[in-house]
A and B are shown apart, each in its own frame.
Chain A
Amino acid sequence: MKFKNILILVSILFFSFGTSWADTFKIGFNVPLTGFAAADGESALNGAKLAVKQANSAGGINGKQIELVVYDDQASPKEAVPIANRLIEKDGVKVAVSGSYSGSTRAAAGIFQDAGIPYISAYAIHPDITRAGNYVFRTSFMGEVQGRAGALLIGQTMQRKRVVVITLKNDFGKSLAAGFKAEASNFGIKIVNEYEYSIGDRQFGPIVAKVRADKPDAIYASGYFFTAGPLVSQLRSGGVTVPVIGQEGYDGEQFIKIAGAFAEGVIITTSLDRDSNSPIARSFISEYEKFSGNKVDMVSASTHTALKVVVAALRKAGTNNPDAIRKAITQTQLSAATGHISFNKLGEVRKNVEVQIVRDGDWHYHSTIRDQTLLAPPES
């Protein structure tokens, strides 16, 4: 009995020393690794791991290594809340990143804000995320901003005026549609019809039949690769040949795998330019493919960028003090795979929107939207 107690004591001592000996900078990371969003979760995790590996091999933070503390949130708010509490209280992280969707990111954001721990949303787009408070940031576009860019692209760049809007009925699709509709009339666009679908839908026969009767000039369709792939194939094989304009949810090789030859000519607004000349984007594209065995997508690029922002802030702050880290994040001026990153007062990113088109079975440069007034995120 005595022996057992001693054993327990020794192991407690060992493990408590173990953590202090290791002395790493921990970054919390919630990401959907199981459930319906597991595909994006895998890309996000790989993007994050690559950023941490690169930072560690470049000397870590003042010689100390960085450790990514990963939890699976299944893209569900009810999982994200206990994970956020656990990251803060048990793991003692002083900064965290969301590699997850809006639902869980929004739920966790309030908890990190209350605890005074900086939290960056890598690619979740709901407007309320950064409104949780001054400790919450976002390194990708808000849905509304990207929707406005879509209106400029269709109405001005492409000169298409009769548009059908097909909207994914969740916060992602809804906020894209809101931004698009707010700017549509300013670019002379008439919205002929709008249809909505839910995230479980893969069969769009009725919508395709109706769109064929609507005879639009272009289609603005929100979705993720697993809804957009079947949607675009079904539109094309259903005889609808007008341009389809999507967003970053399409962005990745998976969309092209699903839609096959029907993907040709699809145009999207996103954050990563595959044909970029920037050495930072080029090196990310090749390093990521080497590291993960997959091609880059928007999610991996955005998550890599978010981690890079955190690493830069930790280096600048030089301590594990959350307030110092927060201050360093607000002053970010950083070139990353997804462009030049700086934040406004609300913690929203300011950058250009990249437009990509599918040609010969791969994503390529189409144009860049630089209209900073149109793309300005809200300040409060």
Chain B
Amino acid sequence: MLFLELFLQGLLQGSIYALVAVGLTLVYGLLRILHVAHAGLYTLGGYFGVLVFNSSGSLMLGGIVAMFGVGILGIIIYRLCYEPILDQPPFVPLIASIGLFIAMEELYRILFGSYGVSYTNPPLQQMLPLAGLYLREGEWVTILVSLVLIGGLAWLSSRTRLGLAWRATVTDPQMAESFGIDPIRVRYFNFFIGSALAGMAGMIVGILNNLVEPTMGSVPSYKALAIIVLGGLGSVRGTLVAALALGVVESYGTIYLGNVLNRDAIAFVFLILVLMVRPQGMFRGV
């Protein structure tokens, strides 16, 4: 039973990682930028969620603001920060991104205070045992929301014209453009979707922890990088599998290896082991 519960806890953590890492992989797939500031958008989703909920009492409204607000900010970041330096070598946007991330953390501290913000009336905290498995309401909701969002993304990219245009641009931007696809709009769309998913992840984590701190994104910022490398840079399916696998490995690792390695070290040991066997990552291609 404990074994199964740890597995479930791993999937839960993994689904949060997945929501964050998918956006990163989308940006990398399209523009070859390591978008570190993505974790700053994740934190912002947490703030939007808690601030809207505390003032309106509506979780739904909080979720909508977290996704749309952060999604639009993702587009603005692309437009103002990345677009002007797209023709530079890859380390230039990377450094810009790291700088932006640090600035975002400090900006949150100045705007929302260094102590962090908590839900005044924390939602979804009660235990809801289903089929002998102990999970909190918030944890069930996390699993549900991740399935819906990731499923929606899969549907969007494989079954709609928009998704077709998107994948075509990733594969061959010039060819796609010659068929009448506007690459700029594809990029905006790409940033919107990726950022909105991160915003939702941030809100979920804010509820689960009942705490949104300025530095909430610091661990996801590098762990999401490990996940997209693990998944074979730019592969969405690979990223999802890698995120879930990492969640499960960490969950068992915390209990059985916790006194030797900490959680973050486990993630990177796992990364190294996988890369030793499969240097191209777990999956390749889109």
> Across the interface, which residues of B come within 8 angstroms of A238, CB to CB?
127, 134, 136
Q: A209 to B122, alpha carbons, bound, how many Å? A: 22
Asked if A203 contacts B208 (CB within 8 A), the reply is yes
Q: Which residue of B lies closest to A259 (CB)?
A: B210
> Across the interface, which residues of A come within 8 angstroms of B214, CB to CB?
38
Asked if B211 contacts A258 (CB within 8 A), the reply is yes
Interface size on B, residues (CB 8 A): 41
Asked if A239 contacts B254 (CB within 8 A), the reply is no
Asked if B127 contacts A206 (CB within 8 A), the reply is no
| Per-position 1/0 for B193-226, Cβ under 8 A of A | 0000000000001001111011110110000000
> Across the interface, which residues of B come within 8 angstroms of A203, CB to CB?
13, 205, 208-209
Task: Assess A196 versus B251: contact at CB under 8 Å? Given A41-B114, A260-B122.
Answer: no
Task: Assess A198 versus B263: contact at CB under 8 Å? Given A36-B218, A206-B251, A212-B134.
Answer: yes
Q: A126 to B215, alpha carbons, bound, how many Å? A: 24
Asked if B211 contacts A205 (CB within 8 A), the reply is no
Q: A196 to B256, alpha carbons, bound, how many Å? A: 11
Task: Output the residue of A194, A230, A238, A258 with the most chain B CB within 10 A.
Answer: A258
Q: How far is the CB of B71 from chain A (nearest CB, A)?
A: 24
Asked if A38 contacts B114 (CB within 8 A), the reply is yes
> Across the interface, which residues of A come within 8 angstroms of B41, CB to CB?
none
Task: Output the residue of B106, B213, B258, B259 with the most chain A CB within 10 A.
Answer: B258
Q: Which residue of B lies closest to A41 (CB)?
A: B114
Q: How far is the CB of B12 from chain A (nearest CB, A)?
A: 6
Asked if B10 contacts A206 (CB within 8 A), the reply is yes
Q: A41 to B15, alpha carbons, bound, how many Å? A: 34
Asked if A226 contacts B116 (CB within 8 A), the reply is yes
Asked if A209 contacts B218 (CB within 8 A), the reply is no
Which of B1-9, B83-91, B163-171, B235-243 is the contact stretch? B1-9
Asked if B209 contacts A205 (CB within 8 A), the reply is no
Neighbour of A206 across the interface among B136, B211, B218, B254, CB < 8 A: B254
Task: Assess A194 versus B263: contact at CB under 8 Å? Given A203-B13, A230-B209, A257-B118.
Answer: no
A370 within 8 A of partner (CB)? no
Asked if A200 contacts B219 (CB within 8 A), the reply is yes
A210 within 8 A of partner (CB)? yes
> Across the interface, which residues of B come within 8 angstroms of A196, CB to CB?
258-259, 262
> Across the interface, which residues of B come within 8 angstroms of A200, CB to CB?
218-219, 263-264
| Per-position 1/0 for A188-227, Cβ under 8 A of B | 0000001111101111011101101100000000000010
Task: Assess A198 versus B262: contact at CB under 8 Å? Given A205-B139, A205-B251, A209-B9.
Answer: yes
Q: Which residue of A lies closest to B110 (CB)?
A: A34
Asked if B263 contacts A197 (CB within 8 A), the reply is yes
Neighbour of A210 across the interface among B2, B211, B264, CB < 8 A: B2
Neighbour of B106 across the interface among A34, A42, A254, A259, CB < 8 A: A34
A366 within 8 A of partner (CB)? no
Neighbour of B9 across the interface among A41, A42, A205, A229, CB < 8 A: A205
A59 within 8 A of partner (CB)? no
Q: A80 to B2, alpha carbons, bound, how many Å? A: 45
| Per-position 1/0 for B116-131, Cβ under 8 A of A | 1010001001110000
> Across the interface, which residues of B come within 8 angstroms of A198, CB to CB?
262-264
Q: A254 to B12, alpha carbons, bound, how many Å? A: 27
A19 within 8 A of partner (CB)? no
Neighbour of A207 across the interface among B106, B125, B209, B254, CB < 8 A: B254
Q: A195 to B254, alpha carbons, bound, how many Å? A: 8
Q: How far is the CB of A199 from chain B (nearest CB, A)?
A: 9
Neighbour of B211 across the interface among A42, A202, A213, CB < 8 A: A202
Asked if B262 contacts A169 (CB within 8 A), the reply is yes
Q: How far is the CB of B250 from chain A (nearest CB, A)?
A: 8
Q: A219 to B258, alpha carbons, bound, how many Å? A: 17
> Across the interface, which residues of B come within 8 angstroms of A41, CB to CB?
114
B109 within 8 A of partner (CB)? yes
Asked if B109 contacts A34 (CB within 8 A), the reply is yes
A374 within 8 A of partner (CB)? no
A18 within 8 A of partner (CB)? no
Q: How far is the CB of A36 from chain B (nearest CB, A)?
A: 5
Asked if A197 contacts B254 (CB within 8 A), the reply is yes
A35 within 8 A of partner (CB)? yes
B115 within 8 A of partner (CB)? yes
B255 within 8 A of partner (CB)? yes
> Across the interface, which residues of A come within 8 angstroms of B126, CB to CB?
237
> Across the interface, which residues of A come within 8 angstroms of B205, CB to CB?
202-203
Task: Assess A197 versus B213: contact at CB under 8 Å? Given A238-B127, A258-B118.
Answer: no
> Across the interface, which residues of A come within 8 angstroms of B218, CB to CB?
36, 200
Q: A230 to B119, alpha carbons, bound, how many Å? A: 12
Task: Output the residue of B6, B134, B139, B254 with the most chain A CB within 10 A.
Answer: B254
> Across the interface, which residues of A come within 8 angstroms of B219, CB to CB?
200
Asked if A39 contacts B127 (CB within 8 A), the reply is no
Task: Assess A197 versus B258: contact at CB under 8 Å? Given A209-B5, A238-B127.
Answer: yes
Neighbour of A209 across the interface among B134, B215, B264, CB < 8 A: B134
| Per-position 1/0 for A235-247, Cβ under 8 A of B | 0011100000000
Q: A154 to B234, alpha carbons, bound, how many Å? A: 52
Q: How far is the CB of A234 from chain B (nearest CB, A)?
A: 8
Interface pairs (12), CB distance under 8 Å? A35-B215, A196-B258, A197-B262, A197-B263, A206-B6, A206-B254, A213-B2, A229-B118, A229-B209, A229-B211, A233-B122, A257-B118
In addition to A210-B255, A233-B122, A258-B116, 5 A-B residue pairs with Cβ atoms within 8 Å of each other are A196-B259, A196-B262, A206-B9, A226-B116, A237-B125
- Report B's interface with A, CB cutoff 8 A: 2, 5-6, 9-10, 12-13, 106, 109, 114-116, 118, 122, 125-127, 134, 136, 139, 205, 208-211, 213-216, 218-219, 250-252, 254-255, 258-259, 262-264
Pairs A-B, 7 closest by C-beta atoms: A205-B9, A38-B114, A198-B262, A200-B219, A202-B209, A209-B5, A230-B209
